[in-house]
Structure 1
Amino acid sequence: MDPLSDVLSLLRPKSYVSSGFSAGGEWAIEFNKQHDRIKCYSVVSGTAWLAVKDGPPPTCLKEGDCFVLPRGKPFILASDLSVPTVDSSTLFPPPQPGGTVACNGGGDFFLVGSRFAVHGKTAPSLLRMLPEIVHIRKDSERAALHWSIQRMITELNERKPGSDLIAQHLAHMILVQALRIELTENSNHDLGWFSALADPGLGLAIQAIHSDPARKWSLQELSACAGMSRSIFAQRFKERVGETPIEYLTRWRMLLAVDRLENSTDPVSSIALAVGYEAESAFSTAFKRVMGTSPRQYSFNRQGSAF
C-alpha cells in the first residue's frame, strides 16, 4: 500500500456517527474532548466559522466546502466567533447514526459528515502524522467529493434498509478523498510528515520505506530514491519530518510491530523478522528505545488489560 493508506490502516478508523447538523440565527458550539477521533464534514448550505484550538487561524466555511480535523483537537464551530459558546454535549445527544441535529430551529447552515474513532496505543503518534486541518474549497477539488456527499445526504434522509452501513462506507470514502486531495494539492511549506509526503523527493523516499520496511535501507539508498545528494536529503528530511530518515524507518517498523502485537498471535521472533530484524535481541532493543518497554512486556500488558 501507499504511505497514506498504511497510516489509515493502522488507525483503523471506524465511523460511529454519520449525521447532519442544521443551525439558524446566531450560534457558537465548542467541541471538547475530541481525543482519538477524526472529524470529517461537508457544508451543504450556508456559512460558518471554524476555529481549532492551538491550530491555524480561524477559517470561514462556505457552501460546498469540505473539512477534516484529523488530530482530534478541540474546536469551535460558529456563525460568529464573538458569540458566547455552548458545549456540544448540551446540544448533541449520545452518538447515534443518522438523522439531523438542529440548533435554533436550523435553516441557515447545514452540514453532513462523520466522526471516526481510532484505536490502539499508537493512535496518538499516527494522528500527529496527519495535518491539523484539511479545508477543501476549490471547485475542481470539491467535485471529487460531490457524489459521495450527496449520496450520504440521501441515505441520512431516506433511512432505507442498509442506510447506516452505506453511510459508513461513504464516510470512509469522503475521509480518504479529502486527505488525498490535500496531499495532491499541498504546495505549502508546513513542517510534518504529511507535508514531507507531498514533497516530490521526500515523498519518494517515504514511499520506498513503506513499500519494504524490512529492507536494510541505507541513507545513500534513500537519498537516491529522493533524487538528492545524501547530505541535502538528510538535512531536508530532518527539517521537514523532525527526525532523521533512519529514525523514521525505525519508528515506522515499531508501529508495524505494535500493530502485530495488538492484533495477532504471532511470536515476537516472527514479528522481529517481518520488520527487518534477524536477531530478536536487536529488535527488542530498538522496540524498547522507541516504545519505552520490551515487546514481550508490551504484549503481556495488553493481554493482562483485556480481562
Structure 2
Amino acid sequence: MGYRVAVIGATGNVGREMLQILAERNFPADEVVALASSRSTGQSVSFGENAVLKVQDLAKFDFKGIDIALSSPGARVSAEHSPRAAKAGAVVIDNTSYWRMDPDVPLVVPEVNREAIAGYKRRGIIANPNCSTIQMVVALKPLHDAATIKRVVVATYQSTSGAGKEAMDELLNQTKSFFVNQDLEPKKFAKNIAFNVIPQIDVFMEDGSTKEEWKMVVETKKILDPKIKVHATCVRVPTFIGHAEAVTIELEQPLEEDEARRLLAAAPGILVVDRREPGGYVTPKEVTGQDAVFVSRVRVDPTVEHGLSLWCVSDNLRKGAALNAIQIAEELIKGYI
C-alpha cells in the first residue's frame, strides 16, 4: 500500500531536505504534495534526482485523503494548519516548536522513545524535537540505560542553517564583505556572525537562559527522563551546516570510558570516531549529508563522581530535522496506522 504524503513548508531548508530524504529512502508514497505559502505557489521543488513538484498554496489545500503530513513551516503557521490537517485525517509530524511541550502530543526520537508514537491518536500530531536536543538524546540514551544519567552540562556550537536560509545568506555575505573592506550590519543575528560566535540562540527568558537552552532542558526531560538535570549554553557559530556539542555527563553508577565507547558504538543511529590523535574526531564539515549522530572524544570527567565527557556532531538539517521526521513516519506505518 502506498501513502499520500504532504510536505508543508516545502520551499524551506528543512522542507527541501524532507523531499530529498523521502526519495532517497524510497518511502512508500503513491503521491507527494509540496505545500507552502501563497508567495511560493507555482514554484518548482526537486523530489529526488529526477522528479519535480509544483508548490501548492497551503492555505487553500484540502488535506482530505492525505495520510501523513510532514510539517516545517514555522510555529505560527503550524499552529493554524497542523490541526486542520489532523482534523482531515492526516497524521501530522511537525518540526516546529509549537507542539513540542503539549502534553497530548508525543515528542519523538525513534532511537530513543519509539513507543511514544502511539500517543499521536490524542491530537493527530507527533512533534519533532529541536535539532540540538535530537542529537544529544541519541548519544545519551545508551549511557542512561547502562548507568542512569543524573546531570548533563552541554555547550552547543550551532550552524547558521538552524536559523534558516536568510541566516546562511547573512554568513556568506558578511564573509565576502570582510575581504573587500565592507561592513555589513547584521539583520538575522544580534551581532555579526562571520568570524565570530554568538552566545544567543532565540530570545532571552527571565532566568537568563535563552529559549534554545530552555528547549534542550525540557525536551530532554520529556523524551528521555524527567529526573535528568540539564544545563545548556547554546552558541551560534560561523558554519553553514552541522551542529556540534560538548557534553559532560554525571552518572549514578560507574561506567568505564571503554565500556561507554562500546555502548555508544553498538547503539542505533550512532557512529563513534574516537582516535586520540590529531584529526581523530569528527567535525561539522564532515557530517554534512550524513544520517548518523557522530560521537568523538569520549573520556572521564574527573571533577565529579562517575563523570564522562564526549563530543557529539550531526547534520542539523537531516537527523536534526528532516530525517528524524521521516524516521518517525517510517515507524508510524510499521504498526501505528
- Provide TM-score, normalisation by structure 2: 0.24
Larger radius of gyration: 1
Which has more strand, going by share of residues?
2
Scaled by the length of structure 1, what TM-score is found? 0.26
Question: Which protein is richer in helix relative to its size?
Answer: 1
